[in-house]
Amino acid sequence: TQLLEQSPQFLSIQEGENLTVYCNSSSVFSSLQWYRQEPGEGPVLLVTVVTGGEVKKLKRLTFQFGDARKDSSLHITAAQPGDTGLYLCAGGAGTSYGKLTFGQGTILTVHP
């Protein structure tokens, strides 16, 4: 069974601060996805990374896939209250179609 350890579980910061969320595993994944979930809604994809060492940027969000494809990180620069939500990492392996392994999630609260 593949496991993804996501940390921290909770993050409460002030507007303008930077933060990093980590997603670690002892298993190799063929892809790593990050989702964001708002209360009362389903998760929505932010990004997919598939190559070891890959870095993707989405405005103030930077996503990195580890060289060995066992870990990933999400860095938010100058967080805003609109960034508040649940962030989930999810790993896909081989021909797993949509059979993803999810981390526990990080609840981010950005205070004005």
Binding site for other proteins (CB under 8 A): 1, 4, 6, 9, 29-31, 33, 35, 40-45, 48, 50, 88, 90, 92-100, 102-105
In the complex with other proteins, which residue's Cβ is closer, 20 or 104?
Answer: 104
CA 81 – CA 95 distance, rounded (Å): 38
In the complex with other proteins, which residue's Cβ is closer, 76 or 91?
Answer: 91
Q: How far apart are CB 112 and other proteins at their closest, in Å?
A: 26
What is the rounded (10 degree) CA torsion for 81, 86, 89, 95?
-120
The pair of structure tokens assigned to 19 is 């933060």
Q: How far apart are CB 78 and other proteins at their closest, in Å?
A: 27
Cis peptide before 8 (omega within 30 of 0): yes
Q: Which of 35, 91, 37 is nearest to 68 (CA)?
A: 91
Q: How far apart are CB 29 and other proteins at their closest, in Å?
A: 7
Q: How far apart are CB 72 and other proteins at their closest, in Å?
A: 13
With beta carbons less than 8 A apart as the criterion, state whether 103 and 7 touch: no
In the complex with other proteins, which residue's Cβ is closer, 40 or 112?
Answer: 40
